[in-house]
Amino acid sequence: MEREKFRDSIATVDQQGKRSWVYPRKPAGRLYHYRQYVSYLLLAFLVASPFIKINGNQFLMFNVLERRFSIFGFTFWPQDFYIFVLIMIIGVVFIILFTVAFGRIFCGWICPQTIFMEMVFRRIEYWIEGDRGKQIKLDKQKWNAEKLRKKLMKWSIFFFISFLIANIFLAYLIGSDRLLLYVFGGPSAHLSTLLSLLIFTAVFYFVFAWFREQVCVIACPYGRLQGVLLDERSIVVAYDYQRGEKEKGRAKFKKNENRAATGKGDCIDCLQCVQVCPTGIDIRNGTQLECVNCTACIDACNTMMQAVDLPKGLIRYASEANIRKKEPFRFTARLKAYSAVLLILIGVLSGLLFLRSDIEANVLRLPGQLYQHRENGIISNVYTYKLINKTSLDYEDLQFRLLSHSGEIETIGNQFISVTSNSFSEGTLFVNISRKSLAKEKEKLEIGVYSNDHLIETTSVTFMGPRTYK
């Protein structure tokens, strides 16, 4: 269909398959100001998070190399991976729920790609090169001193900011303490880290200086999911075609004309919504996968509506059902189902976090060893143990005690084990039980880990003994 032709291609690639550079007009308006406040708040959060400590733990850290994560100050070890996976699943369900209800609102208001692109890099570009018209002119003109100065200035600032972002990224990855240590230790002492930093810098520079909206249009998996998540009741940034087109369609504005009487739509075909769009689309064609719901077109259109004395909201947050049938927002069955799943997952996560102990004990039988007879009818089994301290406190007096049977635990080395914060201690221990206390050849034992006479963790192991005892 001719009307749907725009869906066969993306706005940023021309007929020859070459990139069509987007020069969006500088946005302005109420929603843009709100987005600025939200963005600055989120930028501050993003920069500060790796440097905030809760009980000595980094507020947010994703050390994938050593498989150690810290979320809201809770440290997660590889053994806690199931909790980490659950948090990820909750995040995904939350985003899905949000997308079903509010479309790609996340992209426009919260996504770091949009925030950095629109609120940092693009603003610097406007500051150096000017608004849309001036940028187009500058790119078309031959290289001269002015163009060279502006471009060099822009590229240098972009590189510097990309380098800063790479440092923040590294602080999330390896921890802010280590990053600061490397920074103050000097680059020559940490050449491999410097190399990683420069690689990250190059990636960020490439994304924000050149790849830009292509991330949202062709690279981001979340953007691709939209097609299956949105329905006619999802609230998205939408053009009210009923009002904009009416019987005679959109038409340029003419002074003193009675638009209502002519049957022309409220859209005055000024193209402000198209020129301001950072992904280069025409929202009047309907919901498109390129739209990141940045609201720039809402502001642009409202300004025009105000100028020609027509009601605002020709482009607004609305659902297809709202525009077509004037239907208000409804909490649909799909939304209810997603919310229920989300609540259940949050409940399970809270339970797991509540039950999660500060010290985790793993006690395993030494492979290839059955049992030993000792003096006075004592049967002994040998185990290896690993005590993981997930807190920022140092423990110096950890001790194993047998809970389910009378007997004793003999730790090789010191009976009291010390484990410093966020680390682990491992070793070997013997469990010695009188033969008379054993009823079967294979018994399950409960072992407790004590600190200062307080039970802080329990674990169970299998104990092997001879076939007959009595």
- Residues binding ligand SF4 (CB under 6 A): 237, 239, 244, 267-273, 276-279, 281, 283-284, 291-297, 300-301, 304, 314-315
DSSP secondary-structure letter at 234?
A: S
Distance CA 290, CA 319 (A): 17
Q: To 10 degrees, the CA torsion angle through 157, 160, 166, 172?
A: -100
Minimum CB distance to ligand SF4 smaller for 32 or for 383: 32
Judged by beta carbon, residue 107 or residue 445, the one nearer ligand SF4 is 107
Name the minimum Å distance from CB 41 to ligand SF4: 20
Nearer of residues 185 and 249 to ligand SF4, judged by Cβ: 249
Shortest spacing between CB 27 and ligand SF4, in angstroms: 8
Nearer CB in complex with ligand SF4: 315/438 = 315
- Shortest distance, position 286 Cβ to ligand SF4, whole Å: 10
| Residue (166 or 294) nearer to ligand SF4, CB | 294
Q: Is the dihedral of CA 207, 213, 28, 111 positive or negative?
A: negative
**CB of 260: closest distance to ligand SF4 in angstroms?**
16
Separation in Å, CA 271 to CA 18, 277, 390: 23, 10, 57
Q: Nearest distance from residue 235's CB to ligand SF4, in Å?
A: 12
Q: Is the dihedral of CA 135, 140, 146, 150 positive or negative?
A: positive
**Do residues 441 and 464 make contact, with C-beta atoms less than 8 angstroms apart?**
yes
Q: Least separation, in Å, of the C-beta of 232 and ligand SF4?
A: 18
Instruction: Return the residue matching tokens 């638009």.
Output: 259
Tokens of 92: 């995904």
Give the Cβ contact number of residue 195 at 10 Å: 11
CA distance 176 to 51: 6
Q: Residue 229 or 294: which CB sits closer to ligand SF4?
A: 294
Q: Which is nearer to ligand SF4, 20 or 418 (CB)?
A: 20
Closest CB 271 distance from ligand SF4, rounded Å: 5
* Least spacing, CB of residue 296 vs ligand SF4, in Å: 4
At closest approach, how far in Å is the CB of 310 from ligand SF4? 8
Using alpha carbons, select from 323, 312, 463 the residue that is nearest to residue 383: 463
The helix (run of H) or strand (run of E) holding residue 57 is strand 57-58
Cα(345)–Cα(391) distance, rounded to whole angstroms?
25
Instruction: Find the shortest distance in angstroms from Cβ 120 to ligand SF4.
Output: 17
- Using the minimum distance from each CB to ligand SF4, give the nearer residue, 271 or 364: 271
| Closer residue to ligand SF4 (CB): 73 or 286 | 286
166 vs 277 by CB, closer to ligand SF4? 277
User: In terms of CB distance, is 117 or 296 closer to ligand SF4?
Assistant: 296
The C-alpha atoms of residue 12 and residue 406 are separated, in whole angstroms, by 75
Alpha-carbon distance of 71 to 49, in angstroms, equals 10
CB burial of 413-422 (b: ≥16 within 10 Å; e: otherwise) equals eeeebebeeb
Checking 108-114 for CB contacts under 8 A at 24+ apart, the result is 108/35, 108/237, 108/292, 108/293, 108/294, 108/295, 109/35, 109/38, 109/293, 110/38, 110/42, 111/292, 112/42, 112/46, 113/207, 113/215, 113/216, 113/220, 114/216, 114/292, 114/294
CA 84, CA 64: separation in Å to the nearest integer?
A: 12
CB of 265 to ligand SF4, least distance (A): 8
